[in-house]
Amino acid sequence: MSILKDQSLAESGRRKIRWVRDFMPALGRIEERFAREQPFAGLRIAVSVHLEAKTANLGYVLQKGGAQVRLTGSNPLSTQDDVAAGLASMGVETFGVHGASAQEYERHLIETLKVRPHLIVDDGGDLVHLLGGKCAQLGENLIGGCEETTTGILRLRAREREGILPCPMMAVNDARAKHYYDNKYGTGQSVWDAIMHTTNLVVAGKTVVVAGYGWCGKGVAMRAKGMGADVVVCEVDPFKALDATMNGFRVMPMDEAARCGDVFVTVTGCKDVITPRHFAVMKHNALLTNAGHFDCEVDVAGLAAMAVGREVRRENIEGYTLPDGRVLNVLGEGRLVNLAAGNGHPAEIMDMSFAVQALALEWLVRHRQGLERKVYQVPDEIDEEIGRVKLAALGLAIDALTPEQQAYLNGWKAE
């Protein structure tokens, strides 16, 4: 039933999955409980997240909790064919091929939804988009779902405002256990891991332009500064721009930054962040990368229209030659560089994010009666449970408030 490139790659995929499982202790402890309690017994779950080893582990944990799971990717360039084959060999129906065309990618999404899920895990809103349109009939059993990304949550809230959200959805990205760690530390490390591995170039001494200073942008800028780069931040929010300034970064509009940048990283979740007017003034051999969500932050189509030539310069790097001879280099086709040209966030980081996913799905099942078709915040108790589990798994301990301290913080009398 699975759609794969090559089932013979399964052992390589299983090795990758086994490796990350050793470094995802919080999800491992949740798996132990799920295996005992079977919270998803009789339920079907459709998952669309970047198809690599950490995601495979999430799919496997949900299966151990009693669910029938179908899993696909959320970006054709981030799908790892050996991991897809490995997961399928572990009993999770898997649909994904690296480099799939837009038509093939949609087919994989639809095949995943044909399980007629009770629960979904989405990354960027692709499953919700189909369930709210051409695949509405496949959502007849929906209890609810979870969304992994900032971009996806923006789209969910837009649907909620218009009254067209197909089911209750949990804003996993907004959980403390997710955005504090995944967005800042995960993105910060994985983006530079991918850029450095792909280019084999030094970071120190270069001018790095980070577009967007949300949690992801903070991580990218922080790590660039730590490696010796001169960091420029571009923002549309005055307070985020002030925050960047207070953290020691230069702040300017993209029209100015385009002239001085050596490496550009977009982290906005919006479109048309870097456009032809910016390409026109960039340095020769500037590197253009995206770490937001969709491949519209850097206008690669606009760059192609300007160019008089293009060539593959290294794996995952395409050079566009402009009429004056300058070459601008696009990494990973302008898709998420840390996944299109790398292995994504570290396992220890995704341990936190996917623990949120697992517990949020369980919460939706427990509270299925009376849920409305709206976006829900992850309950504090889930965040706190994951924090405690993660600390325990790392062998760490923290202080606890005494009853008197609790009363002091919750009251108004200075006693």
- % of the chain with per-residue pLDDT over 90: 92
Instruction: Identify residue 309 by its one-letter amino acid code.
Output: G
Do residues 103 and 162 share a domain?
A: yes
> What is the pLDDT, as a whole number, of residue 155?
94
Do residues 154 and 269 share a domain?
A: no
User: Which pair of structure tokens corresponds to residue 131?
Assistant: 């369930």
* Residue 214 annotated as part of some ligand binding site: yes
The total domain count for the chain is: 2
pLDDT (tens digit per residue) in 205-231: 999 999 999 999 999 999 999 999 999
Q: How confident is the model at residue 172 (pLDDT cuts 50, 70, 90)?
A: very high
Whether residue 415 is contained in a domain is answered as no
Do residues 152 and 227 share a domain?
A: no
Do residues 276 and 225 share a domain?
A: yes
* Residue 215 annotated as part of some ligand binding site: yes
Question: Are 227 and 204 a contacting pair, CB within 8 Å?
Answer: yes
Q: Mean pLDDT throughout 99-106?
A: 96
Do residues 144 and 87 share a domain?
A: yes
Do residues 241 and 329 share a domain?
A: yes
Q: Is the pLDDT of residue 415 over 80?
A: no
* Residue 291 annotated as part of some ligand binding site: yes
Residue whose C-alpha is closest to residue 80's, from 55, 108, 58, 110: 55
Lowest mean pLDDT among 271-280, 316-325, 334-343: 334-343
* Residue 163 annotated as part of some ligand binding site: no
Whether residue 333 is contained in a domain is answered as yes
* Residue 284 annotated as part of some ligand binding site: no
Whether residue 123 is contained in a domain is answered as yes
Name the domain boundary from 310, 340, 370. 340
> What is the pLDDT, as a whole number, of residue 178?
86
pLDDT (tens digit per residue) in 1-57: 899 999 999 999 999 999 999 999 999 999 999 999 999 999 999 999 999 999 999
> What is the pLDDT, as a whole number, of residue 274?
98
Q: Where is pLDDT greater, at 38 or 385?
A: 38
CATH number at residue 228: 3.40.50.720
* Residue 150 annotated as part of some ligand binding site: yes
Distances from the Cα of 135 to the Cα of 116, 155, 158, 163, angstroms = 10, 18, 19, 17
* Residue 235 annotated as part of some ligand binding site: yes
> What is the pLDDT, as a whole number, of residue 414?
61
What average pLDDT does the chain have? 96
> What is the pLDDT, as a whole number, of residue 412?
85
* Residue 217 annotated as part of some ligand binding site: yes
CATH number at residue 162: 3.40.50.1480
* Residue 338 annotated as part of some ligand binding site: yes
Whether residue 1 is contained in a domain is answered as no
* Residue 151 annotated as part of some ligand binding site: yes
Q: How confident is the model at residue 251 (pLDDT cuts 50, 70, 90)?
A: very high
Q: Judging by DSSP bridges, how do beta strands 309-314 and 317-321 pair with one another?
A: antiparallel
* Residue 187 annotated as part of some ligand binding site: no
Do residues 34 and 155 share a domain?
A: yes
Do residues 311 and 354 share a domain?
A: no
> What is the pLDDT, as a whole number, of residue 79?
96
Whether residue 95 is contained in a domain is answered as yes
Q: Structural domain of residue 319, as residue ranges?
A: 186-340
Do residues 160 and 254 share a domain?
A: no
